[in-house]
Chain A
Amino acid sequence: MSNLSTIKEKYPPGDFAIWIIIYVELITFGLFFIGYAISRRENIEMFNSSQLMLNQTSGFINTFILISSSYFVAKAIYYIRTMKQNNIKESNTKASKWLVFAIVCGIAFLLIKISEFYHIFSMGITLSTNKFFMFYLLLTLFHFMHVFLGTIILFNIRQRTKIAGYTPDDYLGFESGASYWHMVDLLWIVLFPLVYIIR
């Protein structure tokens, strides 16, 4: 999006290729979510008792972290979109500051998730333990990889903001990375209540 006018943009922010990836990811995770919900019907007691072994608090903290990181990225993109030719350096610096917060959140999410996986695996739980843990591990490990990739993308965007690399005419890459990061957040927003809360 080139400006913040009220006129609707024809295409979503960022490179269109990233949106193809986002749509494919949404469909893939969506099938997993539906598969989880249907499988749960076959053995509700087993799903409920297995779910009790998860740490809801770490799930909540991770949701808080991802939502906040998404907010920080939205703030960063705000400064890039409102940038003018005479304040390129200042806008990049402000965006860079907000990206640091988002990257720290991404790393915090990964560390909490690693400790959660360590706890789960140290109990001898694997993909073949039962259907609940099969879905839990597949969904969260798959999502973990997306957060990992997203954090690397944000880091690279931040490196470019440090040299004032984005201009009012060239910030498509920034928007693409931001859109990917928001998708990661959107997926976790569904995953958290589905796997950690609903019983």
Chain B
Amino acid sequence: MINIKRTLEYIWIVLIILTIFAYLLGYLKLISTSLVGILLLTTLIKGALVSDYFMGLKDVSGKYRFIPIIWLSVIIILVGIAYYMPIPMTQ
């Protein structure tokens, strides 16, 4: 039981650290093309942690556990494609 309480605390700390990382990238204007990929990856990790540990879906079998993670992955991949795909030149 104590381990579950500790785990929730660790998850909260990881989420806050990743949020501070994202904020500093924006605030210090450090955001670059390559760092956007890392930022999207940290967003995926944060979402998966919330889904698994806060929502408690890690204790749920099969599709119900993975629906939010699949949703998140699809969003992150499509946002990444929209960001990185070259923009066609127009006359």
Binding site for B on A (CB under 8 A): 1, 4, 8-13, 19, 22-23, 26-27, 30, 33-34, 37-38, 40-41, 44, 56-57, 59-60, 63-64, 67-68, 70-71, 73-75, 77-78, 82, 179, 182-183, 185-186, 189-190, 192-194, 196-199
Contact = CB atoms under 8 A, between A and B. Distances in A.
Given A1-B59, A198-B31, A71 B54 contact: yes
A181 to B, nearest CB: 9
A11 B55 contact: no
Interface string B1-30: 100110011011001100110110111000
Interface string B45-67: 01100110111110111101101
Interface residues on B, range: 35 or more
Contacts, number: 140
A77 B85 CA distance: 43
A199 B79 CA distance: 12
Given A1-B56, A198-B39, 9 more contacts: A12-B55, A33-B79, A60-B27, A64-B16, A78-B4, A190-B43, A193-B43, A197-B23, A197-B25
B18 to A, nearest CB: 9
Nearest to A72: B12
6 contacts: A4-B4, A37-B83, A60-B23, A71-B8, A71-B54, A193-B22
A189 B46 contact: yes
Interface of B: 1, 4-5, 8-9, 11-12, 15-16, 19-20, 22-23, 25-27, 31, 36, 39-40, 43, 46-47, 50-51, 53-57, 59-62, 64-65, 67-68, 71-72, 74-76, 78-79, 82-83, 85, 87
A199 B28 CA distance: 13
B19 A60 contact: yes
Nearest to A44: B87
